């Protein structure tokens, strides 16, 4: 019988990879605390209709990539393929529209898409995201961009570039769609099969196609930025002015649309240049989008909530980890113990357990091998761990309520009362 393996496109998180994830999560948590964002954990499973309506029925995510199931009770559920619809569902369900605006939320966790397994693509993958709901002011767009920029800088990325565009709203976008459709129909025979389908369903998404022949056609298409209504134009102008005030490097990309149907007005992506310790530039580094997002002013209303402007973005964690590894960005391991606690015999073992807990209460890290009784073995492990001190508790010492302190480098030993060991080790560690 074959051994069980993790499912195709899904992977365990352990060792070094987990340390990278924890570092990214800590950076998110620190930034969230500073900017006043509260963490949220939404269910991994949601009603399928939430994504069909929220993400967009014509998107690749809904049509090709969702893991969906029907329960024995007849409910249709889907493993969440992205974060925003679940956030909005929770916002509506829990009456968050009654909270002071904006409501600022962040998340970090697993998502699921039926991707073809290949380098950098997973069926279970991880993202973090920040969402701000309830404020229309363009300063919110700029602050969301600033937050992600700060997180990437904290993780060691430099030479970051923001690509940004406005895709208008329900007032000005219909006219643009008409002009765009007319242009694309004249080039329909050169489009890929997916884009010929998109031409009927949502022509804007053709601008997001990654196939070369479609990109050539899209590169000569009419631009939305030239057809913005006054409200969208003024909003976008203000966003850019805020970015300039913040001295954030951006460039206009008039064909940036993002792949989801709910976006309005501002859309953006952040690309990595290199890492802090990078000596050689790399094409892979320079052209990798780490963050994507924008404004979604109609989504709350679309999902049966009150009319609520909103803005947010998400970042792929595996992609960030991959680039950090690629450029040798090491994770500093937690501080190693400087003390090893050795014991010989049943009574010393019992007393050692209590001593170990006393060190824990005083936040002093210890190493131990309580499952072994051989002092020779324990000293060998202590030597391998390169600790500075070994505390030795034998039968005689346990009966006399004393303990031996051995300096590993010099071999010098001193016997002290057990009740004084915490104070003595604090003194020695401070001295070293």
The confidence score (pLDDT) of residue 249 equals 93
Identify whether the C-beta of residue 113 lies closer than 8 Å to the C-beta of residue 84.
no
pLDDT recorded at residue 333: 60
C-alpha to C-alpha distance for 42 and 56, rounded to whole angstroms = 20
**DSSP 8-state symbol, 5:** -
The secondary element (H helix, E strand) that includes residue 142 is: helix 138-154
Res 225: pLDDT? 86
Q: Give the model's pLDDT for residue 285.
A: 46
Round to whole Å and give the CA distance between 178 and 175: 5
Query: Residue 97: is it exposed, middle or buried by C-beta count within 10 angstroms (0-12/13-18/19+)?
Result: middle
Residue 281: per-residue pLDDT: 44
The total of other beta-carbon atoms located within 10 Å of residue 318's CB is 19
Rg (CA), the chain: 28
CA distance 244 to 312: 20
Q: Which residues pair with 366 in a beta bridge?
A: 339
Residue 22 confidence (pLDDT):
92
CA distances (Å), origin 136, targets 10, 233, 299: 38, 14, 13
- DSSP per-residue letters across 320-368: HHHHHHHTT-PPPPPPPPSEEEEE-SHHHHHHHHHHHHHHHHTT--EEE
Query: What ranges in 155-220 are assigned the alpha helix state H?
Result: 173-185, 193-201, 212-218
Global pTM value: 0.83
**Domains defined for the chain, CATH in brackets:** 15-172+228-326 (3.30.930.10), 339-431 (3.40.50.800)
Helices (H), 202-345: 212-218, 230-245, 283-286, 299-302, 317-326
| Residue numbers of the chain with a pLDDT score lower than 70 | 1, 117-120, 259, 274-287, 329, 332-334, 432
The sign of the CA dihedral 32, 37, 38, 39 is negative
Count how many Cα atoms sit within 13 Å of the Cα of residue 206 in the half-sphere of its side chain. Answer: 32
Positive/negative CA dihedral, 97, 102, 104, 110: positive
pLDDT score of 424: 92
What is the DSSP secondary structure assignment for residue 83, as one 8-state letter? S
| Cα separations in angstroms, 337 against 204, 340, 344 | 57, 8, 21
């Amino acid at each position: 019988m074959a051994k069980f393996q993790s499912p195709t496109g899904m992977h365990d998180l352990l060792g070094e990879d987990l340390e990278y994830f924890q570092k990214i999560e800590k950076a998110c948590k620190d930034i969230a605390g500073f900017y006043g964002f509260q963490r949220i954990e939404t269910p991994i499973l949601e009603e399928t209709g939430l994504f069909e309506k929220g993400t967009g029925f014509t998107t690749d995510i809904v049509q090709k990539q969702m893991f969906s199931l029907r329960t024995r009770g007849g409910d249709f559920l889907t493993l969440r393929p992205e974060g925003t619809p679940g956030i909005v569902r929770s916002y509506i369900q829990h009456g968050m529209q009654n909270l002071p605006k904006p409501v600022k939320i962040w998340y970090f966790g697993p998502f699921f898409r039926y991707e073809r397994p290949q380098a950098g693509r997973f069926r279970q993958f991880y993202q973090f995201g920040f969402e701000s709901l309830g404020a229309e002011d363009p300063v919110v767009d700029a602050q969301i961009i600033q937050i992600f920029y700060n997180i990437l800088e904290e993780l060691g990325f430099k030479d970051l570039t923001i690509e940004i565009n406005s895709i208008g709203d329900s007032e000005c976008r219909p006219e643009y769609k008409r002009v765009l459709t007319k242009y694309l129909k004249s080039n329909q025979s050169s489009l890929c099969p997916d884009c010929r389908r998109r031409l009927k369903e949502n022509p804007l998404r053709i601008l997001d196609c990654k196939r070369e022949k479609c990109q050539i056609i899209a590169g000569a298409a009419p631009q939305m930025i030239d057809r913005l209504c006054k409200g969208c134009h003024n909003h976008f102008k203000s966003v850019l002015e805020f970015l300039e005030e913040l001295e954030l490097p951006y460039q206009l990309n008039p064909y940036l649309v993002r792949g989801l149907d709910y976006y309005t007005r501002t859309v953006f992506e952040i690309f990595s240049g290199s890492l802090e310790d990078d000596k050689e530039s790399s094409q892979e580094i320079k052209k990798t989008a780490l963050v994507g997002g924008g404004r979604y002013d109609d989504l709350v209303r679309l999902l049966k909530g009150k009319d609520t402007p909103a803005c947010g973005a998400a970042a792929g964690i595996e992609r960030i980890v991959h680039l950090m590894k690629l450029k040798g960005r090491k994770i500093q391991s937690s501080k190693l113990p400087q003390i090893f606690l050795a014991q010989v015999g049943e009574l010393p073992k019992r007393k050692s357990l209590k001593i170990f807990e006393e060190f824990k209460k005083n936040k002093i890290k210890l190493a131990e091998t309580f499952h072994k009784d051989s002092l020779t073995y324990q000293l060998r492990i202590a030597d391998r761990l390169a600790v500075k001190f070994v505390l030795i508790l034998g039968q005689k010492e346990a009966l006399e309520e004393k303990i031996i302190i051995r300096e590993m480098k010099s071999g010098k030993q001193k016997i002290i009362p057990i009740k004084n060991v915490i104070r003595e080790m604090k003194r020695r560690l401070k001295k070293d």
